[in-house]
Amino acid sequence: MAGDLPIVRRHVVIIGGGPSALIAADVLAEVAEVDLYERGHVLGRKFLVAGAGGLNITNSAAGEDLIAEFTPADLLAPMLAAWGPADLRAWLLRMGVPTFVGSSGRVFPEKGIKPAEVLKAITRHIRDKGVRVHLRHTFVGFDDQVRPIVEHQGVRRTLTADAFLFALGGASWPRTGSVGEWTEAFRAIGVRTVPFRPSNCGVEVPLPEGLGLHAGKPLKNVRITCGQRSVRGEATITRYGLEGQAIYPLIPEVRRQLDERGLAELHIDLKPDVPLQDMERRLRSASAKERTHVLRLDRPALALLKAFTPRDRFLDPADLATDVKDLRVGVRGLRPLEEAISSVGGIALGEVATNLSLKQFPAMFVAGEMLDVDAPTGGFLLQGAFSMGHWAAQGLQRYLSGSSIDPPGFRAGWSDLPFSR
């Protein structure tokens, strides 16, 4: 109608260029003008590093099996329910990236589609929706009005917008730009942070000298338990201890035990398909010389068994059977943060509202590895980042519209959880 005022779209700034930022940009571009600032020369650099051995983008786990992989589970549960693995796969398919479920439920782009091509499809998609991308812009802090400042080619600029979403990453893989230095800026405005610590990393085990000969060799088809968490899969003997897919999901419990008593303990079942009674029966019926053959262990597993089984126990069939099924290995520490696949720490969870805005600053939202959350590899890390980014973007949409901060499907009592790890 003549004389009508033009509709003015709201303006949103996203700082960060990883998975959380990319999905948030897609969601927010539907309702606002979006500017995205990234410190690197490309978007999603860690995304590319994660895909170096094959881009495991999510996992087919569902329901409680999916939620159980995340810590704290109650924080991530509504976010995963709102936008989970099926939604991520459908989103990629709309951009021309079909996926398939591989071994152990892991999800990958169809064979022949490289990680760089996936990232290119996503970035092209958000640019086509009007998202303005600004590369080589580094977040350096806030001004006296708590507005973010970025630096580009030595020139600093204060950013203004109706709302902000930060997805600055954690402190793992620092070569990709995730150095965690942003925590100082948030502490300066009164936002409490938790020191970064390694996750999805190797564990340090005091190994006998002879076991070092097997460094780099796998322990295949084992079950490793720490506390109440048990994982079946493969681990690798290293010069410092153990690492691998059967180790990474145990790191939260290992970290807890190290914090409480300075030492953690792994229980390794070297023959998970053979019941203890069957193993003991086999060993009792064999001569001392035949027992090594009866065990049917490959050289790395046998070396590990011998390294942590005293001679008197190795010679006793019952004790040997017990150690094959429950080999106890002490852990004295985690590998350094610089070697970790991911980190925990960052913004303390007590600082965020249910929509992932900062309680002190309702126009500021945070997502991804910035938050003190944890998940194992196997597609869960990336899924968590995407789900949090989607959730925060929806919360920001509601903020712009003046709606309630509580998201649909929100679990009552979420904000009362003790998020002060």
Q: Establish if 5 belongs to a structural domain.
A: no
Closest CA to 233 of 366, 352, 376, 330: 376
Is there a contact between 254 and 226 (Cβ–Cβ < 8 Å)?
yes
Looking up residue 191, the CATH number of its domain turns out to be: 3.50.50.60
Encoded tokens for 16: 């960060």
Q: Establish if 421 belongs to a structural domain.
A: no
Does position 259 have pLDDT exceeding 80, yes or no? yes
Instruction: State the total domains in the chain.
Output: 2
Is there a contact between 384 and 84 (Cβ–Cβ < 8 Å)?
no
Whether residues 319 and 354 fall in one domain: no
Predicted pLDDT of residue 12: 98
Whether residues 129 and 81 fall in one domain: yes
Distance CA 382, CA 144 (A): 35
User: In whole angstroms, how large is the CA radius of gyration of the chain?
Assistant: 24
Q: Which helix (H) or strand (E) element contains residue 393?
A: helix 380-401
Does position 412 have pLDDT exceeding 60, yes or no? no
Residue whose structure tokens are 């925590």: 183
Predicted pLDDT of residue 406: 65
Whether residues 18 and 146 fall in one domain: yes
The reported pTM is: 0.89
Encoded tokens for 240: 């410092």
Predicted pLDDT of residue 242: 97
DSSP secondary structure of 340-366 = -SEEEEEE-GGGB-TTSEETTEEEEEE
* 343 vs 293, residue with greater confidence: 343
Encoded tokens for 298: 């490959």
One-letter amino acid for residue 270 of the chain: L
Domain end point (choices 334, 361, 376): 334
Is there a contact between 187 and 351 (Cβ–Cβ < 8 Å)?
no
One-letter amino acid for residue 409 of the chain: G
**Those residues with Cβ within 8 angstroms of residue 334's Cβ, 6 or more apart along the chain or in another chain:** 197, 198, 201, 202, 203, 204, 251, 254, 255, 258, 340
Whether residues 259 and 346 fall in one domain: no
Q: Establish if 2 belongs to a structural domain.
A: no
* 387 vs 3, residue with greater confidence: 387
Whether residues 142 and 53 fall in one domain: yes
Whether residues 324 and 344 fall in one domain: no
Is there a contact between 333 and 271 (Cβ–Cβ < 8 Å)?
no
Does position 51 have pLDDT exceeding 80, yes or no? no
Distance CA 51, CA 44 (A): 11
Is there a contact between 200 and 248 (Cβ–Cβ < 8 Å)?
yes
Q: Establish if 208 belongs to a structural domain.
A: yes
Q: What is the pLDDT of residues 122-170, one digit of tens each?
A: 999 999 999 999 999 999 999 999 999 999 999 999 999 999 999 999 9
Strand partners, 232: 223
Q: Which domain holds residue 222?
A: 204-334
pLDDT band at 175 (very low <50, low <70, confident <90, very high): low
Whether residues 278 and 233 fall in one domain: yes
Whether residues 263 and 378 fall in one domain: no
Domain end point (choices 302, 334, 366): 334
Q: Establish if 4 belongs to a structural domain.
A: no
User: How far does the chain reach from its first CA to its final CA, in angstroms?
Assistant: 56
How many CA atoms lie within 13 Å of 192's alpha carbon, on the beta-carbon side?
11
Q: Establish if 3 belongs to a structural domain.
A: no
Q: Establish if 6 belongs to a structural domain.
A: no
Predicted pLDDT of residue 209: 80
Closest CA to 36 of 157, 132, 159, 121: 132
Whether residues 329 and 341 fall in one domain: no
One-letter amino acid for residue 219 of the chain: L
- DSSP secondary structure letter of residue 70: S
**Mean pLDDT in residue range 398-407:** 80
Q: Establish if 58 belongs to a structural domain.
A: yes
Domain end point (choices 334, 360, 384): 334
Whether residues 404 and 292 fall in one domain: no
Does position 354 have pLDDT exceeding 90, yes or no? yes
Give the C-alpha distances (Å, rounded to integers) separating 200 from 50, 77, 172, 246, 263. Answer: 12, 21, 10, 10, 18
Whether residues 34 and 82 fall in one domain: yes
Does position 177 have pLDDT exceeding 70, yes or no? no
Residue 319: phi and psi, rounded to 5, are -65, -40
pLDDT band at 174 (very low <50, low <70, confident <90, very high): low
Other Cβ atoms less than 10 A from the Cβ of 174: the count is 14
Give the C-alpha distances (Å, rounded to integers) separating 275 from 221, 229, 326, 328. Answer: 15, 19, 11, 17
Residue 216: phi and psi, rounded to 5, are 95, -5
Does position 319 have pLDDT exceeding 80, yes or no? yes
Q: What percent of the chain has pLDDT over 70?
A: 91
Whether residues 359 and 211 fall in one domain: no
